[in-house]
């Protein structure tokens, strides 16, 4: 048999193959633009929401201290904490308890959003101007001395006609003061645009970011922004199309995240106050649409919050903790790896749910990844996409402190750089 015969014979002419390549060039370029994949950066496990007038230099440290005080008062031991959450005690509970306390002392807040919208309300212009400048200077100082959270920024008023001018002015004042105070925008800067109802508003926010960059001499696309999904129009438009996908497109590559707004969205759907929660069917539908629209775009998802706060008697605190812990766990299982926290007392249950989720999955993920890389047969037949997901799972555990490098290397034989390569993490500037 000749070498030509061994390779097999084809029928399609070369000219046709070239024609197909040419015809699909535009589609290839569009797919590459719209679906760049994971940005390759750390995603915070939560966003802490603090009204601008209540934010000061001690806010982050105070949240950590208050969270530890709540644990001391209402669940001082690993067994008591596990019982309060309604989860089994034992080795995992002890590991989680110790890591949660260490996290609260070291880095209680991963992402801070200083709020100038609902939590702040409508105030005299001079007062909001002063708060915008003051909070920017505090963020700059914390970033400079290393006391700030990895991510921080503002939520300004929306771009609807009645508050548009005020929202844009606050954004401009905050960014200008931040730049003046630090000489550069912090790497972890986050901007959140609420109550988006039309793709034109996302496009306008993108133009504002671009305009600030040009006026301030910043690199192109240095500034991105998150879109808060809290209106029905942002999920399904009057034409029956999924608006959220159009919002991402209208942002022209600057949308970094979609944050679900539990209470505004629920109210817009007619859900009664007692049923306004992240696990309501109306919420699940909205987040499922968000998830599909964001898949492959590099846009991260964040779940909403619960307004049931862990305050009062120990019994009341435990009930609120169990609710919050269950909601966070539910979100993680549905691949919403971030959510909003509204009270220091929610930090223990946020980290307890997150840490248990990643620590429980360490052994199985490590074994499956090691088997995939070695080509060994096992009870689960994993494909490249699953190997990427397994690597991403371990990386998220490392990012938040649920896992450490030695544990992960022991489980799968890979270091962080190897995991990042296998996960296909890239780099998207400015996000």
3-state SS string over 278-303? CCCHHHHHHHHHHHHHHCCCCCEEEC
CATH fold of the domain at 47-358: TIM Barrel (3.20.20)
Token representation of residue 277 = 């929660």
Q: What is the pLDDT of residue 384?
A: 82
CA distance 340 to 119: 14
Residues 100, 351 contacting (CB under 8 angstroms): yes
In the sheet that 111-115 helps form, which strands lie side by side, from edge to edge?
Answer: 300-302, 255-260, 225-229, 189-193, 151-155, 111-115, 46-51, 339-341
Going by C-alpha positions, the residue among 242, 243, 234, 252 that lies closest to residue 297 is 252
- Tokens 């962080």 locate to 416
Q: What is the pLDDT of residue 429?
A: 34
Token representation of residue 51 = 């009204």
The region, left, alpha or beta by phi > 0 then psi within -120 to 50, assigned to residue 311 is: beta
Residues 302, 258 contacting (CB under 8 angstroms): yes
Strand partners for 227 = 193, 258
| Phi, psi (deg, nearest 5) at residue 11 | -115, -35
Distances (CA, A) of 198 to 168, 191, 229: 17, 18, 11
Strand partners for 258 = 227, 301
Q: For the chain, which residues make up each domain, given as ranges?
A: 47-358, 362-423
Host H or E run for residue 229: strand 225-229
Q: What is the pLDDT of residue 217?
A: 97
431 residues of the chain, pLDDT tens digit each: 555 566 788 999 999 999 999 999 999 999 999 999 888 899 999 999 999 999 999 999 999 999 999 999 999 999 999 999 999 989 999 999 999 999 999 999 999 999 999 999 999 999 999 999 999 999 999 999 999 999 999 999 999 999 999 999 999 999 999 999 999 999 999 999 999 999 999 999 999 999 999 999 999 999 999 999 999 999 999 999 999 999 999 999 999 999 999 999 999 999 999 999 999 999 999 999 999 999 999 999 999 999 999 999 999 999 999 999 999 999 999 999 999 999 999 999 999 999 999 999 999 999 989 888 887 655 555 678 888 899 999 999 999 999 999 999 999 999 999 999 988 875 433 33
């Amino acid at each position: 048999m000749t070498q030509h015969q061994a390779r097999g014979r084809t029928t399609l002419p070369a000219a046709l193959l070239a024609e197909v390549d040419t015809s699909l060039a535009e589609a290839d370029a569009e797919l590459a633009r719209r679906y760049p994949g994971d940005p390759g950066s750390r995603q915070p496990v939560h966003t802490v929401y603090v009204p601008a007038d209540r934010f000061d230099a001690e806010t982050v440290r105070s949240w950590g201290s208050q969270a530890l005080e709540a644990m001391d008062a209402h669940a001082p031991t690993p067994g008591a904490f596990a019982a309060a959450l309604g989860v089994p005690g034992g080795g995992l509970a002890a590991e989680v308890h110790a890591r949660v306390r260490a996290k609260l002392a070291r880095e209680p807040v991963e992402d801070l959003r200083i709020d100038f919208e609902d939590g702040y309300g409508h105030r005299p212009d001079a007062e909001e101007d002063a708060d915008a400048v003051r909070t920017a200077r505090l963020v700059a100082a914390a970033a400079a001395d290393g006391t700030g959270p990895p991510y921080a920024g503002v939520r300004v008023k929306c771009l609807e006609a009645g508050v548009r001018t005020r929202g844009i002015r606050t954004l401009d004042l905050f960014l200008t003061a931040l730049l003046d105070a630090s000489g550069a925008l912090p790497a972890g800067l986050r901007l959140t645009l609420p109550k988006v109802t039309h793709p034109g508003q996302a496009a306008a926010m993108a133009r504002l970011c671009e305009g600030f960059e040009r006026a301030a001499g910043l690199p192109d696309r240095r500034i991105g922004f998150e879109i808060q999904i809290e209106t029905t129009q942002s999920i399904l438009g009057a034409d029956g199309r999924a608006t959220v996908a159009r919002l991402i497109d209208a942002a022209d590559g600057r949308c970094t995240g979609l944050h679900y707004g539990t209470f505004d969205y629920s109210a817009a759907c007619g859900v009664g106050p007692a049923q306004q929660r992240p696990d309501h069917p109306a919420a699940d539908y909205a987040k499922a649409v968000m998830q599909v629209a964001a898949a492959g775009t590099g846009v991260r998802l964040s779940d909403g919050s619960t307004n049931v706060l862990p305050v009062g008697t120990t019994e009341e605190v435990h009930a609120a903790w169990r609710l919050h812990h269950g909601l966070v766990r539910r979100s993680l299982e549905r691949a919403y790896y971030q959510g909003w926290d509204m009270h220091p007392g929610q930090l223990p249950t946020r980290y307890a749910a997150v840490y248990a989720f990643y620590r429980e999955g360490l052994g199985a993920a490590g074994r499956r990844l090691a088997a995939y890389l070695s080509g060994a047969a096992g009870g689960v037949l994993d494909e490249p996409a699953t190997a990427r997901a397994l690597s991403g799972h371990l990386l998220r555990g490392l990012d938040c402190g649920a896992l450490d490098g030695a544990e992960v290397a022991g489980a799968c034989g890979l270091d962080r750089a190897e995991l990042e390569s296998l996960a296909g993490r890239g780099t998207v500037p400015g996000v």
